[in-house]
């Protein structure tokens, strides 16, 4: 039997947006996650959020300076995880 096993890919990122992980970046993150062929989990310590769920992400209450771990598990994990890191590491709009 031949099958391809994928190890989860993990990256750590620090929230730098002054507003933390608020509605706009969380929505962008969840929309991107909905379009990939892997499971996306965001960890804040032992607390985890389904990356495809806007409300799970908001529920993390990740403020500026918070360190999060993104875990992607699936066939396109390696090629897409950088996009998720970029969203969470973004300083946001200069208002």
Q: Is residue 16 domain-resident?
A: yes
**Average pLDDT of span 70-81:** 94
Largest CA distance in the chain: 56
What residues make up the domain containing 49? 9-89
Q: Which residue out of 10, 11, 16, 22 is catalytically annotated?
A: 22
Q: Is 62 helix (H, G, I), strand (E, B) or coil?
A: coil
Active site includes 6? no
Summarize pLDDT for 11-65 with one digit per residue, the tens: 999 999 999 999 999 999 999 999 999 999 999 999 999 999 999 999 999 999 9
The pLDDT of residue 92 is 78
The confidence band for 2, taking pLDDT boundaries of 50, 70 and 90, is very low
Q: Is residue 4 domain-resident?
A: no
The pLDDT of residue 7 is 85
Q: Is residue 3 domain-resident?
A: no
Q: Is residue 45 domain-resident?
A: yes
CATH number at residue 82: 3.30.1340.10
Q: Is residue 23 domain-resident?
A: yes
CB crowding 60-86: b at 16 or more within 10 Å, else e: bebeeebebebbbeeeebeebbeebee
Structural domains of the chain, count: 1
The pLDDT of residue 74 is 94
């Amino acid at each position: 039997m031949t099958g391809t096993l994928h190890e989860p890919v993990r990256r750590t990122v620090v929230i730098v947006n002054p507003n933390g992980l608020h509605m706009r970046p969380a929505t962008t993150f969840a929309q991107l996650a909905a379009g990939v062929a892997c499971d996306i989990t965001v960890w804040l310590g032992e607390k985890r959020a389904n990356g495809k769920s806007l409300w799970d992400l908001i529920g993390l209450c990740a403020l500026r300076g918070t360190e999060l771990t993104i875990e992607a598990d699936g066939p396109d994990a390696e090629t897409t995880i950088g996009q998720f890191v970029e969203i969470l590491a973004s300083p946001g709009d200069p208002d």
